[in-house]
Amino acid sequence: MMRALAAFDVLHEDRLVLARAAAMRSPRERDCGATRRAAAQSMAERLQEGFRLARFADRLRRGAKREYAPDATFAALGTAQVDYVAVGGFAAVAHGVVRATTAVDLVPAPEASNLERLAEALGVLGAHPDGEPSTPVTRELLGRDANMRFQSDAGQIDILGAATYRRLYPELRSRAIEVNVGGLPVVVASRNDLIRLKAGTGRDRDLLDIGDLLALEE
């Protein structure tokens, strides 16, 4: 397997990346009341709160044009029995990071049968590739060596299907945590895997998340 999940010599001098991330948040910010409350909650409670916060943030951003429903995305995945690991903002929320997110980020199992089920779930959600509303979502499309963004009736869905993520999937899934959110199963990456994935991007948003994740006690 790739070294992307090995110790802390992960990607791009990770110790420097992680140090920068931790420095971007002051102790006062990391110890805010909302963070302390999240630390006392279960992962299911954090995700429920994350769904509510995401809806609120989306209404502020878009007005009343569309109801953002990330829980509907996870419900469709569960109904279609899609094998996946959530790795984006909602995974961070599950581990105690307090923030809004406007997309569901997923690494799906790369097998053709699973991509067929994923296409089915995206169809139920009325999803289409971002900027290409007439393009059908098929197993073949999802099987491309690419990360793809979809818009759906439930909101934005980012599918991480590039070869790097396909190779990582077995390890990610073996350490993933399945959270029961009011009867709704949500599979999220482990805290350490999430940190290591985010360390490879170098994006400020991900660096902030790393700082918060490192500051949290599991």
Confidence bin at 47 (pLDDT 50/70/90): confident
Confidence bin at 40 (pLDDT 50/70/90): low
What pLDDT is attached to residue 200?
Answer: 77
Tell me the average pLDDT across 28-41: 54
Question: What pLDDT, in 10s, does the model give residues 50-70?
Answer: 777 777 666 666 654 556 789
Whether residue 189 lies inside any domain: the answer is: yes
Whether residue 186 lies inside any domain: the answer is: yes
Q: Which domain holds residue 133?
A: 41-200
- Residue 84 DSSP label: E
Q: Report the share of the chain in percent with pLDDT over 70.
A: 75
Confidence bin at 209 (pLDDT 50/70/90): confident
Whether residue 6 lies inside any domain: the answer is: no
What pLDDT is attached to residue 172?
Answer: 97
Whether residue 101 has pLDDT greater than 70? yes
Whether residue 31 lies inside any domain: the answer is: no
The owner of tokens 């963070």 is 35
Tally of domains within the chain: 1
Tell me the average pLDDT across 19-44: 57
Q: Beta partners for 157? A: 104, 150
Mean pLDDT (the chain, rounded):
81
Whether residue 35 lies inside any domain: the answer is: no
Positive or negative torsion for Cα 122, 125, 175, 88: positive
Q: What's the CA gap between 196 and 201, in Å, rounded?
A: 9
C-alpha dist (Å) from residue 21 to 37, 72, 90, 199: 22, 32, 19, 9
Contacts of 15 (CB under 8 A, 6+ apart): 8, 9
- Please report, as a single letter, which amino acid is at residue 168: L
What pLDDT is attached to residue 66?
Answer: 58
Q: What's the CA gap between 145 and 91, in Å, rounded?
A: 23
Computed on alpha carbons and rounded to an integer, the radius of gyration of the chain in Å comes to: 17
Whether residue 158 has pLDDT greater than 90? yes
The more confident residue out of 97 and 22 is 97
Whether residue 23 lies inside any domain: the answer is: no
The pTM assigned to this predicted structure is: 0.76
The more confident residue out of 46 and 186 is 186
Reading the block at residue 70, the tokens are 């990330």
Whether residue 211 lies inside any domain: the answer is: no
Whether residue 91 lies inside any domain: the answer is: yes
List the CATH number of the domain containing 96. 3.30.460
